Amino acid sequence: MSLLLDEIALATTRLAEAGVPSPRADAEELAAFVHRVRRSELHLVPDGAFDALFWEGIARRAAREPLQHITGRAFFRYLELAVGPGVFVPRPETEVVAGWAISALQEMDVASPVVVDLGTGSGAIALSIAQEVPLARVHAVEIDPDAYDWAKRNIREHGQGRVRLHPADLADCLPELAGRVDLVISNPPYIPPDAIPRDPEVRDYDPARALYGSGDDGLGEVRAVEDTARRLLRPGGFAVVEHADTQGTDVYWLFPEDSGWRDMSNHKDLTGRGRFVTARFGQE
């Protein structure tokens, strides 16, 4: 067994003892980061190669600092995004939300669909749509200055000329696009103020503004997304909104038929948990 594999095995045990949910994967990712390769390329690292920075990273991860803060990168669909303190780390479950939106856009009979991502954070959703629906005109909205800076950095790297970033509140943004948007998507803050996340990576590192929604149920921002989507969407356009796995029914009823919504649906993520709601506005 090579020295590197020995180190990864020892690191996996240490991370498991610290309660890290995916110890082997995280140990391999940290090794890949230190040796400047991808996880699938670890076999290319010369036998006997070792870097003390690996164990520095393992110590930080064992203290439950997010892996993405240590490496400075997060993988989302086909993108490698820059992330760190001040921005919400995109999650795998959100990839399913973005995937639904991408499929819907690809099926639209619209040459160059207009898309708005409300509360873009790192820009993960907006950039994925721009990458996978090349003719889409994507607008990303973010009011938090720290998150805005991360989104700006990622858009400069991956979406220059394809995503337009707006420093605005999702509740009253983009009046110039009223009635012209084909799809509005959002992963807004939705955790109720008294529901503190168990995982320290979330509780202690993700910005509170990206986690906790307003109102007793945490759905104040979802209500604002519904209102904005109703204002921006053309007849037949879609709203796509992520939520916590226990909020599907509540979010579903925030898109009522008497407000013009049709075809409301609940959707599950890859773990089988309720994850997002979609609705079509008005009639085509």
The 10s digit of each residue's pLDDT in 49-77 is 667 789 999 999 999 999 999 999 999 99
Per-residue pLDDT tens over the stretch 35-51: 888 888 887 787 666 67
Number of separate domains in the chain: 2
Residues 113, 211 within the same domain? yes
Whether residues 264 and 219 share a domain: the answer is yes
59 and 81: one domain?
Answer: no
Whether residue 83 lies inside any domain: the answer is yes
Residue 239 resides in a domain: yes
Taking only the tens place, the pLDDT of each residue in 79-135 is 999 999 999 999 999 999 999 999 999 999 999 999 999 999 999 999 999 999 999
Boundary-marking domain end, from 39, 63, 87: 63
Structural domain containing residue 219: 77-281
Dist. CA 236–CA 261, nearest whole Å: 9
Question: What percent of the chain is predicted at pLDDT more than 70?
Answer: 98
267 falls within a domain: yes
- Listed in sequence order, the residues at least 6 apart from 171 whose beta carbon sits closer than 8 Å to its beta carbon are 224, 227, 228
Residue 273 domain-assigned?
yes
Q: Which of 18, 37, 63 is the endpoint of a domain?
A: 63
Q: Tell me, yes or no, whether 10 and 103 share the same domain.
A: no
pTM above 0.75, yes or no: yes
C-beta neighbour count of 142 within 10 angstroms: 28
